[in-house]
Amino acid sequence: MLESNTKLLHLGNFGDKHVLSVSSHQDHVKVRTYLTSNGIQSNEWSVKLKAEYATVFDGILYLTDPVSIFPTVSISSYDLNPNKNDEEDGLSNEVLQSLGTKQIKIALDKLKFCEAVAPYLICTYGKKVSIVHLGNANVMETNFENEVDEISGTSSHNLSAAAFKGSGFVKIYKISQKQG
């Protein structure tokens, strides 16, 4: 159960036996794991950081804050699997290992909303959309014919895709890293 002053940023399967939740609190972020078999909490880490979005991709947790320091996006990454030999799917009681923080500037006049579609963060204002790759910090800007009102995303190891809806259009794209 989450306390009333918290905001859940991420929920997803973690290994075969656990669910991972990431929640933001007043001045820190809590990462918790629960056993899927009985819902009992199995681990918890705390990171002193402000974050608005959280995504997990390839065993790395990305915490991002595009709001308080706009037009810069802060991306902090953490290794969720420091101990792969653990019997319980790589979970350990060690401190979350930080992989560093990057600051990325996006070319939006204002910020309407963002959507995390691992390993990307998609932010929009008006007709303009900025897509940030959270791993390598590449940024792509694109324009739609009308203002973007809604985004739906999905990601797996095979595919990251997003649907954009605005007045008079719905467009769906695979988001891909260019080869070479």
Partner 1 sequence: MELIPIPYPATSYFVTLSQAIVDENFVLFVTRLETAHSIQMDAFSTDKLEKIERLSLHVTAKMLISSLALTKTFCHAAQCGVIGFTKDELFFGSKLDIDSQGNAQITWTRQESLASTLAVETVDYPRLALVLFYSVH
Residues lying near partner 1 in the complex (CB under 8 A) are found at: 2, 4-8, 10-13, 19, 21, 36, 131, 133, 138-140, 142, 150, 152-159, 161-163, 165, 168-178
Which residues lie closer than 8 Å to 154 by C-beta, 6 or more apart? Answer: 117, 160, 161, 162
- Spatial CA neighbour of 117 closest among 156, 80, 66: 156
Q: How many CB atoms lie within 10 A of CB 125?
A: 19
* Comparison of 12 and 97: residue with beta carbon closer to partner 1: 12
* Comparison of 32 and 82: residue with beta carbon closer to partner 1: 32
Q: What is the closest distance, in whole angstroms, from the C-beta atom of residue 103 to partner 1 in the complex?
A: 19
Q: What is the closest distance, in whole angstroms, from the C-beta atom of residue 104 to partner 1 in the complex?
A: 13
* Comparison of 28 and 171: residue with beta carbon closer to partner 1: 171
* Contact status, residue 113 vs residue 123, Cβ threshold 8 Å: yes
Q: What is the closest distance, in whole angstroms, from the C-beta atom of residue 169 to partner 1 in the complex?
A: 8
**168 phi and psi, to 5 degrees?**
85, 5
Q: What is the closest distance, in whole angstroms, from the C-beta atom of residue 99 to partner 1 in the complex?
A: 21
User: Do the bridges between strand 120-125 and strand 113-117 make them parallel or antiparallel, or are there none, so unpaired?
Assistant: antiparallel
Most distant pair of Cα atoms in the chain: their distance: 52
Q: What is the closest distance, in whole angstroms, from the C-beta atom of residue 9 to partner 1 in the complex?
A: 8
CA 19 to chain CA mean position, Å = 16
* Comparison of 94 and 147: residue with beta carbon closer to partner 1: 147
* Comparison of 69 and 140: residue with beta carbon closer to partner 1: 140
* Comparison of 94 and 173: residue with beta carbon closer to partner 1: 173
- Spatial CA neighbour of 36 closest among 58, 56, 14, 9: 14
Q: Which helix (H) or strand (E) holds 26?
A: none
